Structures are given as structure tokens and as C-alpha cells.
């Protein structure tokens, strides 16, 4: 499951709002063992106070879903990673996360403009594939 997940270019991060409703956003990510990192960068957003980070601070349990769709259904798969997230805004864990992201995405080389990193300690992998 980890190997399939790691091949994906994007995943979808699901968090829970304080009122209990779901919130899902696409994200780029890097995976190291059972730790996933994603970044909140300076790309244009409606607000600097992002719902996903507020949700994590309120309820740190999250899920990420990566999948592959193909017209040839024998090539289909999906993997969900469930875990506990934390928001990081500096220090060695922040720098390590940016290094992992830069190794996967050229856009993170140099100054990626990241202000916040979300780190997820994954405790459960669930998935399916056609074959």
C-alpha cells in the first residue's frame, strides 16, 4: 500500500471541522516510512487562515486518499492513509519536510515559499487494487 501511495503525485487530505463536517482538499506530499508531509505554501488562497490547519488544531485525526483511475479498470487502485496530524511552522522537522518535498517536486527546490508544514504520523493503511 505504501509503495502505491508513494507513486501518486497528489492525494486528498480529509480533516474534520469543529462542527463535525468533513473538509477535503487536494495536496502534494512526500512519504518517508509511515510519516507523510505536505506543505501550505504561498500560492494564491482566499485566506491565510486555512480551514485545514484550524481543523487539525481542533481534531488531529486525518485521512489522505491517493488513487489511480484508468479507462482500463484492471489498472485501478486506491490507498487511504489514516493518522494523526500536526502543524509545524519551523525547526528541524519543518526543514526535513521541505527537503522531502523538494526531492519529489521540482517546484520545492530553492525557495518553495512554504510557511507551514503538516506532518502526519500514519497508523493505518487501507487500499484496493484490481490485481
pLDDT at residue 5 is higher than 70: yes
Tell me which DSSP letter residue 91 carries: S
Answer whether 67's CB lies under 8 Å from 1's CB: no
Which of left, alpha, beta for 57 (phi over 0: left; psi -120 to 50: alpha)?
alpha
Q: What does pTM read for this prediction? A: 0.91
pLDDT band at 88 (very low <50, low <70, confident <90, very high): very high
**Given this model, what pLDDT does residue 115 score?**
84
Which of the pair, 114 or 96, is modelled with greater confidence?
A: 96
When divided into structural domains, the chain yields a total of: 1
Q: Give the mean pLDDT of 80-95.
A: 95
Q: For the domain that residue 82 is a member of, what is the CATH number?
A: 2.30.110.10
Provide DSSP, 63-95: EEEEEE--SSGGG-EEEEEEEEEEEE-SSHHHH
Per-residue confidence (pLDDT) for residue 113, from 0 to 100: 73
From the CB of residue 118, how many other CB atoms can be counted at a distance below 10 Å?
24
Ramachandran quadrant class, 130 (left: phi over 0; alpha: psi -120 to 50; beta: rest):
alpha
CB 78 within 8 A of CB 128: yes
Percentage of the residues of the chain whose pLDDT score is greater than 90: 79
Residue closest to 118 by CA, chosen among 63, 48, 38: 38
Query: Domain range spanning residue 83?
Result: 2-129
Task: Encode pLDDT of 27-83 as tens digits.
Answer: 999 999 999 999 986 655 555 568 999 999 999 999 999 999 999 999 999 999 999
Amino acid at each position: 500500500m505504501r509503495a502505491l501511495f508513494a507513486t501518486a503525485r497528489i492525494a486528498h487530505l480529509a480533516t474534520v471541522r469543529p462542527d463535525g463536517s468533513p473538509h477535503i482538499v487536494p495536496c502534494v506530499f512526500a512519504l518517508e516510512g509511515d510519516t507523510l508531509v505536505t506543505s501550505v505554501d504561498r500560492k494564491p488562497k482566499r485566506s491565510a487562515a486555512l480551514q485545514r490547519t484550524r481543523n487539525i488544531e481542533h481534531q488531529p485525526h486525518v485521512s489522505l486518499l491517493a488513487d489511480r483511475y484508468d479507462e482500463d479498470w484492471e489498472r485501478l487502485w486506491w490507498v487511504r492513509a489514516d493518522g494523526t496530524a500536526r502543524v509545524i511552522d519551523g525547526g528541524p522537522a519543518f526543514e526535513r519536510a521541505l527537503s522531502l518535498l523538494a526531492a519529489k517536486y521540482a517546484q520545492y527546490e530553492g525557495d518553495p515559499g512554504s510557511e507551514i508544514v503538516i506532518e502526519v504520523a500514519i497508523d493505518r493503511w487501507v487500499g484496493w487494487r484490481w490485481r
